[in-house]
Amino acid sequence: MTPERLPYLSADSLRRSLTWPQAVDALERSLRSHQSPGHTPPRAVIDVTSGQLLLMPAEVGADVGVKVATVRGNRARGDLPRIQGVYLLFDGRTMQPLALVDGVALTLLRTAAVSALAVRYLAEPGPARLVVFGSGPQAWAHVQSIAAVRALAEVVVVARTMHTANELVEQCRQAGLRAGRGESGAVREADLVACCTTAREPLFDSHLLRDHATVVAVGSHEPTAREVDTDLVRRATVVVETRGSALREAGDILLAMADGVDEPTAVAGEISDLVNGRVRLEPAHPRLFKSVGEAWGDLVLAATAVRAGIR
């Protein structure tokens, strides 16, 4: 198919093609079949004059794809997101281009769906109180994706910017969820914590967490930035997307290891181990899932959406 005739899945088309439960289930099936994470080379980060260019290739089963994303602080341009990009899907057998997918929407979907899959296996059953750090698109995506795998009794939004925090609270309420704003100490009563920020230092004191709490941290893929403290990594059962990416990019893990946490404690297993029953969950310890955002999830969801025939 010639490039000018490639189907394009817009953000709206992608949302229509994959509900949150469908996205989580697609990732789970791929991991259970042992196709994922497949061949996922490290992301290439290229500094350019206006920001960064990210290249994220992957091969999973018969599919090949690459996401090209840009990162720039566009806060002064309210009409432009911080991350922009496009995904190009190929037929892995012929290497023929198949489709283009909105890269921003795909990143939101993938990141939050991977977190929800981890929550499906890590979190205690029953209605949960979710504390969300951050109030941007990824925070809202995490509320939606986690609500697809756990009933939410309440959502507490902790964010620096009051008006965006209030907007997220209102989104939650319009979705039928009990929601309100809070401070970092709200983790005392949390069953689930989602860290969706650009923070470079820990967001809360992990000693406040209850023994059964589950934390997901997705905000950074930089070795020098973290959202959770060393004591949580030391205390929790820690699951990562893949060990290689975590030990290369996850500041939450690497900075804890620099503080003396050994590698077996810092990484108990990968998400494929978790889904396939190879991670032992200690009943009296919190659980932590750390994601740096890997290309296998982009590819699985892009291919699933394209095959659904949605334009």
Strands 63-71 and 97-102, sheet pairing: unpaired
Provide the pLDDT confidence category of residue 73 given band limits of 50, 70 and 90: low
What value does the CA radius of gyration of the chain take, rounded to a whole number of Å? Answer: 19
Length of the chain: 311
Structure confidence at residue 2 (pLDDT): 52
Handedness of CA 13, 17, 21, 27 (dihedral sign): negative
Handedness of CA 85, 90, 96, 100 (dihedral sign): negative
The Cβ of residue 44 has, within 10 Å, a number of other Cβ atoms equal to: 11
Give Cβ neighbours of residue 310 (< 8 Å, ≥ 6 apart): 9, 13, 14, 16, 17
User: What does the alpha-carbon distance between residue 45 and residue 56 come to, in Å, rounded to a whole number?
Assistant: 9
Q: Provide, rounded to the nearest whole percent, the portion of the chain with pLDDT above 90.
A: 87
User: How much is the pTM?
Assistant: 0.94
Structure confidence at residue 220 (pLDDT): 84
**At which residue do the structure tokens 């198949």 appear?**
98
Provide the pLDDT confidence category of residue 164 given band limits of 50, 70 and 90: very high
Provide the pLDDT confidence category of residue 3 given band limits of 50, 70 and 90: low
Nearest residue to 84 (alpha-carbon basis) of 53, 114, 43 = 53
pLDDT in tens, 84-103: 999 999 999 999 999 999 99
User: By CB neighbour count within 10 A (0-12 exposed, 13-18 middle, 19+ buried), where does 120 fall?
Assistant: middle
pLDDT in tens, 185-211: 999 999 999 999 999 999 999 999 999
In order of their start, the domains of the chain are 3-107+296-307 (3.30.1780.10), 114-294 (3.40.50.720)
Report residue 173 as tokens: 């309420």
Structure confidence at residue 311 (pLDDT): 45
User: What does the alpha-carbon distance between residue 205 and residue 231 come to, in Å, rounded to a whole number?
Assistant: 9
Mean pLDDT for the stretch of residues 17-46: 95
Provide the pLDDT confidence category of residue 4 given band limits of 50, 70 and 90: low
Q: Which CA distances in Å does 190 have to 11, 129, 228? A: 32, 5, 15
Nearest residue to 141 (alpha-carbon basis) of 40, 204, 216 = 216
pLDDT mean across residues, the chain: 93
Nearest residue to 151 (alpha-carbon basis) of 122, 169, 124 = 124
Find out whether 120 and 145 touch, Cβ atoms under 8 Å. Answer: no
The Cβ of residue 35 has, within 10 Å, a number of other Cβ atoms equal to: 16
Give Cβ neighbours of residue 258 (< 8 Å, ≥ 6 apart): none
Nearest residue to 124 (alpha-carbon basis) of 153, 144, 155 = 153
Structure confidence at residue 81 (pLDDT): 74
1 pLDDT more than 60: no
Structure confidence at residue 76 (pLDDT): 55
User: By CB neighbour count within 10 A (0-12 exposed, 13-18 middle, 19+ buried), where does 245 fall?
Assistant: buried
pLDDT in tens, 21-32: 999 999 999 999
User: What does the alpha-carbon distance between residue 71 and residue 93 come to, in Å, rounded to a whole number?
Assistant: 32
Structure confidence at residue 236 (pLDDT): 96
pLDDT in tens, 214-268: 999 999 889 999 999 999 999 999 999 999 999 999 999 999 999 999 999 999 9
Structure confidence at residue 82 (pLDDT): 77
149 pLDDT more than 70: yes
Mean pLDDT for the stretch of residues 145-152: 97
User: What does the alpha-carbon distance between residue 147 and residue 172 come to, in Å, rounded to a whole number?
Assistant: 11
User: What does the alpha-carbon distance between residue 228 and residue 261 come to, in Å, rounded to a whole number?
Assistant: 14
